[in-house]
A and B are shown apart, each in its own frame.
Chain A
């Protein structure tokens, strides 16, 4: 009851303030009137009685003030008053308010946007139930620390998996899909073991999962499709289950449609078709071709450590039982979530958050600086108020209110910036399949913005508040109308802001410049090949129609002939892969006449199968020997071509031509003769260390389903050939889908678009940071000059020349800038290290870039100091002295 009454009272105090005020006044007037009447009754005259009553009553205002405090809302009311005062004073200087809002908005906005990226990329769990029980299983070898697993090893593991839980295998491989009357198209697909979906914890939304017997040859022509593919390709047809489509030239039945949630873009996001993964007799016993990816779901009874130990000991057993294939290989687990986020992503995103934090820090120190300057010009006002008895709280409250207001306004701007930024990022990072990475701005993101703006308010509101607290009233009042000249402490604070901003700007700018430069280098890397005047396309030869090398060789012969007959075409080639997009996985091999290396220590090379005109088409120079010819086929002896590094590494100064190599595999080695040496090539992919050894073999001696077509023009624009190539291909093979048929340069540009996004973001932060920092540096120097105008006046009066004054200011700015750049250099090196760890294939150290950035920033600092310096030199000594 009492609580209710008190609550009611509080509410009344809050919402019926006027009424309460009125009542209080009435009550006291009544009291006074009674007292007066009392005095009159005692015999005093009416006016005299009223005066006596008032005297006795005391100060009505102060009693009422106490009464208000008793009501309990005074603190809030005062705060409201401070806020209103803050709004008025900000409106009086709209330029400052606007600048502050934009500064903060950009700073907090960049930070908030980065947080939302981190959230949608790293923090959000994958859609699979109990995702923390899911791990990717790797087999680490000397060649590949994240190696795949062979079919025989997988089957062994699966036989013993009872203790572990369930282990599913998959292998990626796109396929062609066609329906009668429609052009063939290539679809992203994977082959999965029959327990794949149940291991991940999903079931098809429509239809059913694979049955274990459907991995067996003959019953394997079934498909499960993604929701997106169902909607886009089949228009969400209701009768989709049981429909048959032609996949790789064979009729397949659609069994099910997956739920939309299954396609998280971070894991398997762009896969549209799922096919059963079966093994032929030969594959089931093969331990040398690792091509399977494994995902394990450990049983609830198993701890993570136990699961790790289990997998590791399984790997050890394989290594002892099958040393020729598994020696020196170790098995280990990586949480699926970490795999999907990607190795480079976490440090990169962490770094981006850090860098956006730098932008925010610069923004904050700028604002602190601005506010400090504002407070200092009002130092006299504060001194007067303090002398008149204002308490510290009373002095500080309006300052704090002002910075809170700015922070909130800035926070609002930041939310707008974050929305805009997320949308831009979503659009910018739209993938090849037209699917954009959705980066949602949700409540947690907004609360991040709110918290960030509050912290910011504290950060930049503190400086002027501390200043006001430490104000020496006596000195300020004596120092005349000019406001505070600022003590040593203030000047040091200004210098610290200068150095800090300069260093932060340096880190931002150097990081961005190094990365942009590295990406440019990557995209323009044409080491060992030539992309101008080249058209490329990917083609898939379905095993149903092209079951073996003879058929693939026939395809190659006919297609290359037709393409080379086109007007404008100089040469055409077919190959497993194109030089700029990296080659296939490395394969181990041995040299004839040399001791067989210890298992696990064999040299490895990237292998590319090529057609006769490949080297001239892609522009890789032949250094020694000959290229492959039409005579190199299944009936002729096996031949290889090696790159320069491999020739030098294996044979040194000896002549490599005529030496014989063989891949290490099952059965007896198939020796092939080295007939040529070509230049080294470097891929443009940034995330893998380049493999030095490169080995080529004729497609006509070993064909595979996936191939790249390359066409070199004889000078005409590559884009003009695209249609002709498509028409030729369709006429020859109506069922073959061609993907990514475009000029090679367009494809190269597209290849690293994600890095382009990163480069854009780094540049954006750098531009923001630089702009804000130069503003801040200018502000610091300008204030110093204003504070020292008296001193400059005296110097001028004593005969100093204008030049000397300018130099004085410039030198003091340059000194700070040099210190700042030294500090910033350390940070810049750190940033480039983080980037280099995420992208080992990029060159991220560049002396010239660092020097250039340093010089550029020093120049900016000099300009920012020169402008106020010129003002200093314009000081009229007489006026400056008189003002003291």
Chain B
């Protein structure tokens, strides 16, 4: 089993939002996508993923719909809502600022 990288607090939400910003996906799809995009460096823990999905759904950042997959299976597809997109922009911006500051300090110290 590949070592799980500890995700920074709150960054999983951002990653999920980012992945979904390209189009709707089901839970399994999000896992796969995150693994692919991180070149298997990230393995998402289902025990964190699903509560995060439910939380963001309850907050109104994403909506869910049951649809049929390409393999003809029924699955719950999540997609971003308008507030979700705004939220993504907001967290992405603050993330970038944060990493820039961290990088600045790390390099110049």
User: Residues of A with Cβ closer than 8 Å to B?
Assistant: 1-3, 5-6, 9-10, 13, 23-24, 26-28, 30-31, 33-35, 56-59, 62-63, 66-67, 69-72
Contact = CB atoms under 8 A, between A and B. Distances in A.
Given A70-B55, A71-B58, A59 B47 contact: yes
A30 B58 contact: no
Given A30-B26, A62-B47, A70 B54 contact: yes
Contacts of A72: 58
A30 B75 contact: yes
Given A31-B27, A34-B28, A57-B46, A9 B58 contact: yes
Given A26-B74, A30-B74, A33-B73, 19 more contacts: A2-B82, A2-B83, A6-B59, A9-B57, A10-B58, A23-B76, A27-B27, A27-B50, A28-B27, A28-B46, A31-B27, A31-B31, A56-B1, A56-B46, A58-B47, A66-B47, A70-B54, A70-B57, A72-B58
Contacts of A35: 28
Contacts of B50: 24, 27-28, 63, 66-67
27 contacts: A2-B60, A6-B60, A9-B57, A9-B58, A13-B58, A26-B74, A27-B26, A27-B76, A28-B27, A30-B74, A30-B75, A31-B27, A31-B46, A34-B28, A56-B1, A56-B46, A57-B46, A57-B47, A58-B47, A62-B47, A63-B50, A63-B51, A66-B51, A66-B54, A67-B54, A69-B51, A70-B55
A612 B21 CA distance: 114
A27 B58 contact: no
A67 B51 contact: yes
Interface in B42-56: 45-47, 50-51, 54-55
A28 B82 CA distance: 26
Q: Which 5 A-B pairs have the closest CB atoms?
A: A70-B54, A66-B51, A6-B60, A34-B28, A2-B83
Contacts of A10: 58
Contacts of A26: 74, 76
B63 interface: yes
Given A2-B83, A5-B63, A63-B50, A70 B45 contact: no
B92 interface: no
Nearest to B29: A34
B45 A71 contact: no
Nearest to A58: B47
A27 B81 contact: no
A70 B82 contact: no
A30 B73 contact: yes
Contacts of B82: 1-2
Nearest to A69: B51
Contact of B58 (A1, A31, A57, A70): A70
Contacts of B59: 6
Contacts of A30: 26-28, 73-76
Contacts of A24: 50
Interface in B39-98: 45-47, 50-51, 54-55, 57-60, 63, 66, 73-76, 81-83
A19 to B, nearest CB: 11
Contacts of A67: 50-51, 54
A57 B45 CA distance: 7
Given A5-B63, A23-B66, A30-B28, A70 B51 contact: yes
Nearest to A27: B76
A683 B51 CA distance: 83
Contacts of A71: 54, 58
B58 A6 contact: yes
A30 B1 CA distance: 22
Given A2-B81, A27-B75, A31-B27, A58 B51 contact: no
Contact of A58 (B1, B46, B73): B46
Central interface residue in A6, A34, A62, A66, by most chain B CB within 10 Å: A34
Nearest to B51: A66
B101 to A, nearest CB: 31
A57 B46 CA distance: 6
Contacts of A27: 26-27, 50, 75-76
A66 B73 CA distance: 25
Nearest to A5: B60
Contacts of A5: 60, 63, 81
Nearest to B54: A70
A33 B63 CA distance: 23
Contacts of A59: 47
Contacts of B1: 56
A69 B47 CA distance: 13
Interface string B1-21: 100000000000000000000
Central interface residue in A27, A28, A59, A63, by most chain B CB within 10 Å: A27
Nearest to B56: A70
A26 B69 CA distance: 14
B74 to A, nearest CB: 7
Central interface residue in A3, A5, A31, by most chain B CB within 10 Å: A31
